[in-house]
C-alpha cells in the first residue's frame, strides 16, 4: 500500500502557503472585514462544488447517523467565526501579528483533543503552553506601545485561534465519515449563510466594487480558501490534528514575508522575539509524547 503521509504533508504545506495570502487579500479588499469574509465563502463554493462533482465516485459505504450530518454544520459555524474575527483583527493590527496570534490554534487543538477525545496530556504541553503565553505577552506588549487599536486587534487574534482550533478539531473528526470536498462545501455554504446577516447588520457594504476589487475577492475565495483550506481538509484525513497544526505554523512566516514585500511592514525587536517564543511554545505544546 502506498504511504499517503508524504502527500498529505505536501498538501498541508501547500495549504499553509495559500492561506498566507489571505491577510494580503483582506488588506487589499475594498469591503469591510465581515463582508470580505462572506464573499470568501460565497464565491469559494464554486470551485469546491466542481471538486465535489469531479471527485464523486463509488466508494465503500460508510454507516452514518443523522447526528453525523448535523455535525457537518459545525465546521461552517467555527470557520465563519474564525474568518470574522481574523479579518477584523487584520484591519486593526499588523498582518504578522494577526497571523501569528491566529496560529496559537495548535494550543487549543491539543487542549481540545485532551478534553473531548481523551488524547494524552503531557508535561511537554504545559511547558509549551506557558512558553506560548509568554510570547503572547511579548507580542501584545509591543502592540500596547503602538496604540489601542493594535492591542485590540491582538486580543481578537487570540479569539481567532480558538475558533480555528475548533474548526480543525471538527474537520479532523468528520473526515472519518465524509470526504474533504463534502466538508468544504458544507462549511462554505453554512459559513456564508451565517456571515451574510452579520455583514448586513454591521452596516458593511456588499456592492460597489471595482474590477480589481472583484479580482481580489476571487483570489481570496479560489486560491486561499478553496485551494488552501481544501488541501488542509485533505491532509487532516491522513495526519493527526495536533501534528497538522504544528506544520501550519509555517503560515505566519509566509504571511510576514509577503507583508514585508507588499506593505513594507517590519517587525520590531519585541515582536520578533515574541513571534519566535510563540512558535517555540506551539511546537512544544503540539508534540506528541
Q: What are 29-78's pLDDT values in tens digits? A: 999 999 999 999 999 988 988 888 876 555 555 656 777 788 889 999 99
Average pLDDT of the residues of the chain: 82
pLDDT band at residue 262, thresholds of 50, 70 and 90?
confident
Q: Report pLDDT for 81.
A: 93
Residue 2: pLDDT band with limits 50, 70, 90: very low
For 80-136, how does the pLDDT look when each residue is reduced to its tens digit (9 = 90+)? 999 889 888 888 887 777 877 887 787 788 778 777 776 666 777 778 777 877 876
Q: Is the pLDDT of residue 245 over 60?
A: yes
Residue 145 pLDDT exceeds 70: no
Is the full-model pTM beyond 0.95? no
pLDDT recorded at residue 6: 82
What are the residues whose beta carbons fall under 8 Å from the beta carbon of 77, sequence distance 6 or more?
A: 190, 191, 194
Q: How buried is residue 3: exposed, middle or buried, by Cβ count under 10 Å (0-12/13-18/19+)? A: exposed
* Residue 243 CA: distances (Å) to CA of 56, 166, 236: 29, 15, 9
Buried/exposed code over 247-274 (b: 16+ C-beta within 10 A; e: otherwise): bbbbbbbbbbebbeeeeebebeeebbeb
Q: Decide: helix, strand or coil at residue 249.
A: coil
Please give the share of the chain, as a percent, with pLDDT higher than 90. 24
**What per-residue confidence (pLDDT) applies to 180?**
80
Task: Taking each helix axis as running N to C, give the angle between helix 95-102 and helix 269-286, from 0 to 180 degrees, rounded to the nearest 10.
Answer: 20
Beta carbons of 101 and 274 less than 8 angstroms apart: no
Which pLDDT value is given to residue 160?
A: 92
Burial of 281 (0-12, 13-18, 19+ CB in 10 A): buried
Q: pLDDT for 148-206, tens place per residue?
A: 677 788 888 889 999 989 998 888 888 878 888 888 899 999 999 999 999 999 899 99
pLDDT of residue 143: 60
- When comparing pLDDT for 270 and 153, which is higher? 153
Amino acid at each position: 500500500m502506498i504511504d499517503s503521509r508524504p502527500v498529505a504533508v505536501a498538501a498541508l504545506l501547500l495549504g499553509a502557503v495559500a492561506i498566507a495570502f489571505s491577510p494580503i487579500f483582506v488588506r487589499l479588499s475594498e469591503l469591510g472585514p465581515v463582508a470580505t469574509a462572506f464573499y470568501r465563502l460565497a464565491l469559494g463554493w464554486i470551485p469546491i462544488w466542481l471538486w465535489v462533482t469531479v471527485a464523486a465516485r463509488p466508494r465503500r459505504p460508510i454507516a452514518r447517523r443523522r447526528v453525523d450530518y448535523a455535525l457537518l454544520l459545525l465546521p461552517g459555524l467555527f470557520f465563519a467565526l474564525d474568518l470574522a474575527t481574523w479579518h477584523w483583527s487584520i484591519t486593526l493590527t499588523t498582518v504578522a501579528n494577526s497571523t501569528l496570534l491566529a496560529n496559537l490554534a495548535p494550543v487549543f487543538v491539543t487542549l481540545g483533543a485532551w478534553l473531548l477525545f481523551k488524547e494524552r496530556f503531557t508535561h511537554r504541553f504545559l511547558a509549551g503552553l506557558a512558553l506560548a503565553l509568554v510570547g503572547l505577552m511579548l507580542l501584545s506588549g509591543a502592540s500596547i506601545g503602538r496604540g489601542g487599536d493594535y492591542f485590540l486587534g491582538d486580543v481578537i487574534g487570540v479569539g481567532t485561534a480558538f475558533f480555528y482550533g475548533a474548526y480543525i478539531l471538527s474537520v479532523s473528526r468528520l473526515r472519518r465519515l465524509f470526504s474533504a470536498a463534502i466538508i468544504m462545501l458544507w462549511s462554505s455554504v453554512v459559513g456564508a449563510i451565517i456571515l451574510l446577516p452579520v455583514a448586513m447588520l454591521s452596516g458593511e457594504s456588499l456592492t460597489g466594487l471595482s474590477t480589481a476589487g472583484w479580482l481580489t475577492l476571487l483570489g481570496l475565495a479560489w486560491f486561499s480558501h478553496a485551494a488552501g483550506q481544501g488541501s488542509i481538509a485533505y491532509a487532516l484525513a491522513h495526519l493527526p490534528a495536533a501534528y497538522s497544526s504544528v506544520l501550519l505554523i509555517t503560515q505566519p512566516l509566509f504571511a510576514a514575508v509577503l507583508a514585508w514585500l507588499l506593505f513594507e511592514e517590519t517587525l520590531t525587536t519585541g515582536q520578533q522575539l515574541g513571534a519566535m517564543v510563540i512558535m517555540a511554545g506551539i511546537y512544544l505544546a503540539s508534540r506528541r509524547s
